[in-house]
C-alpha cells in the first residue's frame, strides 16, 4: 500500500491532477510511503501522515510550504489554510459553508444519516436549521436572566462539591463536565441532572469517547479491512457506535417525555420550540425538514458541542493557572478590587470589571467544503475541495502574537485595561459557519471561571508538576488527566 502526500504551492490554478497543472504551479512533492514488505512502516492510523498531533505537523509543513498549501491524503485533496486573514475572507463566502462527507462521523447505515443535524448538514438543510437554532437559543437565553441564573446555580452546585473535597487532591473533570452539560440540557430539554447521577455521568463521558472515536471512523472509510478482524481500532469504533446508540436513545427519551406533556406552547426550550415550529412553520419557510431524525441529530449536536468544548476549555484554564500562579493572583486581585468575594460574579461584571483567562486552542482544526469554485489571495480552489483551517497555527502565529507559548491573559487588555479582541484570535473559527454557541460559551466560561476563582485558590498537590504540553490531540485538544487542590477562600 502506498499513501502519497502531495503538496502544491500554487498560484492561479489548483493542482487537482497533473492534467490541470498550470504553468504557474510550483510542485513540491513529499511522499509518505508505506511499503508492504515493511509491516512496521504500514499506516497504523489515519494520522499516518500527520503523526499523533496533526495540528503541530501542519505547523511544520506551513514553515516549509507557506500559509496556504494543498495536501493529498488517501486519494483526496485538502487545501490547508494557516493565515486567519485568508480564512476570514474565504469563510465569509456563501459557497464555502459545506462540510466534508469524508469527515462525517456518522456512518451511512447508522441510525442517523450522515448529513443530518447542525454540525454536519449541508446546503438548505444546514441554513434553515442553523438559523432556527441560533434564533431559538437567542430567544431562550441570551440576555435573559434565567440563563444566567441557571449557569450560576450550576456553578454553586459545583462549588459545593469542590468544598467537599476538603483540600484533598481531586480531578474535577467529571463533575465539571456534568455541571457544564446541565446548562445545555436546560436549554435543549429543560432538565438538569445531579452531578453524581451515574447514568448522566456515563452519557457525558460518552460524548468524549464519541469525539475520540470519530477519527477512527474516518480511518475505516479509507481502510475498511480494519473492521474485518479483532484489533484496538475496531474495538474503539464498535464502542463508539454503541455509545452513539445510547446517546440517541437518551435524546429519544427526552423527546418522548416532552410529547407526553403536550404543552409545546408553554415550555421554553429547544425541543418544544422545534415541535412548535414543526406544527406551525412560524419561523422557517420549509417546515417539512423539521422531522424526527433532524430533531434527534440537532439535539445530539447541541448536547455534544455544548458539553465537551466548554468543560475542556475550563480544564485548560485550571491547568494554565496552575502553571502560572501569578496569573491566578492577578485574577483574584481583580475580583477583590472590583467586586469583592461576598457577591457572586454576574454577566454584568464581565469585561467591564473582571476579565477571565481564555485558553484558545481547544478545537485545533476546522473543516469546510466549497460548493463552487472560489478564489482567494490569488489561489483558485476547485469546487468540492476540503478546506482545513489550522486554528492551532493561527493561535501561535508570530505575526499576531508575541510569545505565543506564554499564558498571558493581559494580551487581551488594552492600555486602559479594556478587553480587546486581537485579530489573530479565533477559537470559535470565523465566517458563516463559525461556532453557533459562541455567546453561550463565553457567558459560561466567564461565570464558571470567575466564580470558581472567587471561591477557591487552585494549587497542585505537593510534589506534583503539570504541563500544557501534555495533551491528547483529537477533534478537541484535551489535557492529560490531572488532580488539583481546591482551597476555599470564602
Ligand atoms: C469554549 C467553547 C467552544 C468552542 C471553543 C467552540 C468552537 C467551535 C468551533 C471551532 C467550531 C467549528 C466552526 C467551523 O467549522 O468553522 C464550532 C462549531 C459549532 N459549535 Fe462550538 N464551540 C464551543 C462551544 C459551543 C457551545 C456551548 C455550543 C452549544 C450551543 C456549540 C455549538 C456548536 C455548533 C452547533 C457548531 C456547528 C456550527 C455549524 O456547523 O454551523 N459550541 N464550535
The mean per-residue pLDDT over the stretch 42-58 comes to: 59
State mean pLDDT over 112-133. Answer: 94
Q: Is 427 in the pocket of ligand 1 (CB under 6 A)?
A: yes
Query: Cβ(162) to ligand 1 under 6 A?
Result: no
- Expressed in angstroms and rounded, the spacing between residue 88 Cα and the centre of ligand 1 is 16
pLDDT above 70 for 37:
no
Average pLDDT for 296-315: 95
Atom 30 of ligand 1, residue of closest alpha carbon: 437
d(CA 458, CA 481): 16
Residue 414 has pLDDT above 70, yes or no: yes
What is the predicted pLDDT for the residue at 309? 93
**Which DSSP string do the residues of 154-205 spell out, in sequence order?**
HHHHHHHHHHTTTT--B--HHHHHHHHHHHHHHHHHS----TT-HHHHHHHH
Strand 485-488 versus strand 76-81 pairing type: unpaired
Question: Is residue 455 lining ligand 1, measured as CB closer than 6 Å?
Answer: no
Mean pLDDT taken over the chain: 83
140 lines ligand 1 (CB under 6 A): no
72 Cβ closer than 6 Å to some ligand 1 atom: no
| CA-closest residue to ligand 1 atom 34 | 436
Stretch 158-185: mean pLDDT: 98
Q: What is the ipTM of this complex?
A: 0.99
Query: 9 or 399: which carries more pLDDT confidence?
Result: 399
In this structure, of 110-114, 116-120, 139-143, the range with the lowest mean pLDDT score is 139-143
179 has a pLDDT exceeding 70: yes
114-128, 157-171, 211-225: range with lowest mean pLDDT? 211-225
pLDDT beyond 50 at 16: no
Lowest pLDDT segment from 44-48, 220-224, 419-423: 44-48
CA 180, chain centre distance (Å): 14
Q: Which domains does the chain have, with CATH numbers?
A: 101-321+339-354+457-488 (1.10.630.10)
Going by pLDDT thresholds of 50, 70 and 90, the confidence category of residue 320 is very high
Residue nearest to atom 21 of ligand 1 (CA): 435
The reply to whether ligand 1 has any atom less than 6 angstroms from the CB of 208 is no
pTM of the shown model: 0.88
Q: Which atom of ligand 1 is found nearest the CA of 440?
A: 27
CA distance 175 to 161: 8
| Per-residue confidence (pLDDT) for residue 4, from 0 to 100 | 28
Rounded distance from Cα 43 to ligand 1 centre (Å)? 31
Residue 203 Cβ < 6 Å to ligand 1: no
How far is Cα 24 from Cα 47, in angstroms, rounded to an integer?
Answer: 31
Mean of the pLDDT values across residues 25-35? Answer: 27
- Of 44 and 77, the one with more pLDDT: 77
Residue 34 has pLDDT above 60, yes or no: no
Q: Whose CA is nearest to atom 37 of ligand 1?
A: 119
Residue nearest to atom 31 of ligand 1 (CA): 437
379 alpha carbon to ligand 1 midpoint, in Å? 28
435 is in an annotated binding site: yes
Q: What percent of the chain has pLDDT over 70?
A: 83
pLDDT band of 95, cuts 50, 70, 90: very high
Residue 332 has pLDDT above 90, yes or no: yes
Residue 232: predicted pLDDT: 87
pLDDT digits (tens, 9 = 90+) for 74-94: 677 889 999 999 999 999 999
More confident residue, 22 or 430: 430
441 lines ligand 1 (CB under 6 A): yes
Interval between CA 289 and ligand 1 midpoint (Å): 22
CA of 382 from ligand 1 middle (Å) equals: 26
Q: Is the CB of 363 under 6 A from ligand 1?
A: yes
What is the separation of C-alpha 311 from the centre of its chain, rounded to a whole number of angstroms?
Answer: 11
Q: Which ligand 1 atom sits nearest the alpha carbon of residue 426?
A: 10
The rounded Å distance from CA 212 to ligand 1 centre is 17
Residue 360: predicted pLDDT: 61
Among 159-168, 249-258, 392-401, the range of highest mean pLDDT: 159-168
Tell me how far the alpha carbon of residue 310 lies from the centroid of ligand 1, in angstroms: 10
Q: Which protein residue's CA is at the shortest distance from atom 1 of ligand 1?
A: 310
pLDDT for the residue 42: 28
Rounded mean pLDDT, 50-71? 86
Average pLDDT over residues 230-253: 90
For residues 132-136, average pLDDT: 96
**C-alpha torsion sign, points 392, 398, 404, 409:** negative
| Residue owning the nearest CA to atom 19 of ligand 1 | 435
Query: Which ligand 1 atom is at minimum distance from the Cα of 441?
Result: 27
Query: What confidence tier does 489 reach under pLDDT thresholds 50, 70, 90?
Result: very high
**pLDDT at residue 57 in the model:** 87
Per-residue burial over 276-289, b if 16 or more Cβ lie within 10 Å, else e, is bbbeeeebbeebeb
Per cent of the chain over pLDDT 90 is 57
Q: How far from 415 is each of 149, 264, 327, 332, 418, CA to CA, in Å?
A: 33, 50, 18, 20, 7
* CB-CB contact of 97 with 126 (8 Å): yes
Greater model confidence, 320 or 144: 320
pLDDT 10s digits, 333-351: 989 988 888 888 988 888 6
The rounded Å distance from CA 276 to ligand 1 centre is 25
Amino acid at each position: 500500500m502506498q499513501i502519497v502526500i502531495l503538496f502544491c504551492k500554487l498560484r492561479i490554478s489548483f493542482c487537482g491532477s497533473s492534467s490541470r497543472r498550470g504553468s504557474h504551479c510550483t510542485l513540491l512533492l513529499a511522499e509518505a510511503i508505506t511499503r508492504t514488505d515493511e509491516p512496521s512502516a504500514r499506516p497504523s492510523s489515519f494520522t499516518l501522515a500527520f503523526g499523533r498531533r496533526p495540528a503541530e505537523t501542519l505547523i511544520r509543513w506551513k514553515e516549509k510550504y507557506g500559509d496556504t498549501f494543498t495536501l493529498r491524503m488517501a486519494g483526496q485533496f485538502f487545501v490547508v489554510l494557516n493565515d486567519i486573514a485568508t480564512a476570514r475572507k474565504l469563510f465569509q463566502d456563501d459557497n464555502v459553508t459545506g462540510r466534508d462527507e469524508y469527515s462525517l462521523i456518522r456512518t451511512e447505515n447508522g441510525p442517523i444519516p450522515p448529513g443530518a443535524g447542525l454540525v454536519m448538514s449541508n446546503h438548505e438543510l444546514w441554513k434553515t436549521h442553523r438559523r432556527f437554532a441560533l434564533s431559538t437559543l437567542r430567544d431562550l437565553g441570551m440576555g435573559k436572566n434565567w440563563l444566567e441564573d441557571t449557569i450560576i446555580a450550576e456553578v454553586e452546585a459545583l462549588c459545593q462539591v469542590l468544598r467537599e473535597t476538603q483540600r484533598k487532591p481531586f480531578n474535577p473533570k467529571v463533575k465539571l463536565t456534568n455541571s457544564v452539560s446541565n446548562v445545555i440540557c436546560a436549554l435543549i430539554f429543560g432538565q438538569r441532572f445531579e452531578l453524581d447521577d451515574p447514568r448522566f455521568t456515563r452519557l457525558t463521558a460518552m460524548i468524549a469517547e464519541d469525539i475520540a472515536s470519530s477519527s477512527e471512523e474516518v480511518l475505516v472509510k479509507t481502510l475498511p479491512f480494519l473492521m474485518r478482524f479483532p484489533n484496538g481500532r475496531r474495538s474503539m469504533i464498535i464502542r463508539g457506535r454503541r455509545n452513539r446508540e445510547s446517546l440517541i436513545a437518551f435524546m429519544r427519551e427526552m423527546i418522548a417525555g416532552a410529547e407526553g406533556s403536550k404543552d409545546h406552547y408553554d415550555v421554553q426550550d429547544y425541543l418544544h420550540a422545534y415541535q412548535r415550529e414543526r406544527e406551525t412553520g412560524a419561523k422557517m419557510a420549509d417546515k417539512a425538514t423539521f422531522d424526527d431524525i433532524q430533531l434527534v441529530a440537532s439535539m445530539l449536536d447541541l448536547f455534544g458541542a455544548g458539553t465537551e468544548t466548554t468543560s475542556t476549555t475550563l480544564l485548560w484554564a485550571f491547568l494554565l493557572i496552575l502553571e502560572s500562579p501569578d496569573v491566578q493572583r492577578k485574577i483574584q486581585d481583580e475580583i477583590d478590587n472590583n467586586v469583592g468575594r461576598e457577591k457572586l460574579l454576574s454577566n454584568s461584571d464581565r469585561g467591564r470589571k473582571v476579565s477571565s483567562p481564555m485558553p484558545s486552542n481547544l478545537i485545533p482544526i476546522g473543516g469546510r467544503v466549497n460548493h463552487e469554485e472560489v478564489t482567494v489571495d490569488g489561489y483558485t480552489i476547485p469546487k468540492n475541495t476540503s478546506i482545513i483551517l489550522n486554528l492551532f497555527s493561527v493561535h501561535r502565529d508570530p505575526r499576531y502574537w508575541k510569545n505565543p507559548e506564554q499564558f498571558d491573559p493581559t494580551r487581551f487588555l488594552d492600555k486602559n485595561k479594556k478587553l480587546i479582541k486581537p485579530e489573530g484570535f479565533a477559537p470559535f473559527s470565523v465566517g458563516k459557519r463559525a461556532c453557533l454557541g459562541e455567546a453561550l460559551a463565553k457567558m459560561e466560561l466567564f461565570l464558571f471561571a470567575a466564580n470558581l476563582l472567587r471561591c477557591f485558590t487552585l494549587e497542585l498537590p505537593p510534589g506534583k508538576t503539570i504541563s500544557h504540553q501534555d495533551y491528547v490531540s483529537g477533534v478537541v485538544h484535551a489535557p492529560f488527566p490531572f488532580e488539583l487542590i481546591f482551597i476555599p477562600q470564602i
